[in-house]
Amino acid sequence: MWCVKRFLVAFAFAVSLIDAQATTSIDKKAYATKGVIELGGRADFSYSSEDRGGNLGRQSQGSLYLAPQLGYFFIPNFEVAVYPTVASVFSTTRSAETAYGALLAPAYILPFWRPFFPYAEALGGSLVSKESISLTWGAGLGLKILILDNALIKIGITYLRNDKRSRIDNNVFQIEDSLTLSTGFGIFF
């Protein structure tokens, strides 16, 4: 009788192990499939410098965008992401300005080069600073590279246009165009 009990306990243990392994292999999702959630972030940086002759000297300007990411694949290869954003613009001719906001980014992921995933995305949203409110839009192209089973790095080029309006006087506006190198990371489940 004790042999039957031990056999049943061992059998139940083996079945539970096999079931646990089958469940984890079934629950593991491939990147860019429907229902996948991507968490990550990106950093975009640009810098330009201009030397002028005579007493005009040197002028430089740079921008830094830092943005965590929450993305969801509604259908295979189509992701919609939200980027809460901190943008800082600095130059030698004026003081630094930091803006906060969010960008919505629908993206299409090309699935045919696994573990490389080329992507194209559109970006749109608004950024608010102490002095201005801006409507921001743009596009990006790049490559997401799968480095682990559920982790990837991103590298790309992003074009952004900021249509900035003064918070004090609506007649004062400025348009900024930037082309930036975009790097980032992500995990998905």
Predicted local confidence at residue 140, as pLDDT:
96
Q: How many CA atoms lie within 13 A of 147 on its CB side?
A: 11
Looking at per-residue confidence, does 55 or 8 come out higher? 55
The verdict on 52 and 11 lying in the same domain is no
- pTM of structure: 0.74
The verdict on 18 and 110 lying in the same domain is no
pLDDT band at 65 (very low <50, low <70, confident <90, very high): confident
Predicted local confidence at residue 146, as pLDDT:
93
Q: Give the model confidence (pLDDT) of 77-128 as tens digits.
A: 999 999 999 988 888 776 788 999 999 999 999 987 889 999 999 999 999 9
Predicted local confidence at residue 143, as pLDDT:
96
Predicted local confidence at residue 39, as pLDDT:
96
The verdict on 105 and 14 lying in the same domain is no
The verdict on 167 and 88 lying in the same domain is yes
The verdict on 131 and 115 lying in the same domain is yes
What is the DSSP annotation of the chain? -HHHHHHHHHHHHHHHHHHHHHHHHHHPPPTTSTT-EEEEEEEEEEEEEEE-SGGG-EEEEEEEEEEEEEEEEEETTEEEEEEEEEEEEEESSS--EEEEEEEEEEEEE--TBTTEEEEEEEEEEEEEESSEEEEEEEEEEEEEEEEETTEEEEEEEEEEEEEEEESS-TT-EEEEEEEEEEEEEEEE-
Predicted local confidence at residue 36, as pLDDT:
96
The verdict on 133 and 62 lying in the same domain is yes
Write out the residue range of the structural domain in which residue 164 sits.
37-188
The verdict on 7 and 58 lying in the same domain is no
pLDDT band at 55 (very low <50, low <70, confident <90, very high): low
Residue 26 has pLDDT above 90, yes or no: no
pLDDT band at 24 (very low <50, low <70, confident <90, very high): very low
The verdict on 11 and 77 lying in the same domain is no
- Among 31-40, 58-67, 94-103, 142-151, whose mean pLDDT is lowest? 58-67
Q: Give the model confidence (pLDDT) of 114-155 as tens digits.
A: 899 999 999 999 999 988 899 999 999 999 999 988 999 999
Looking at per-residue confidence, does 179 or 106 come out higher? 106
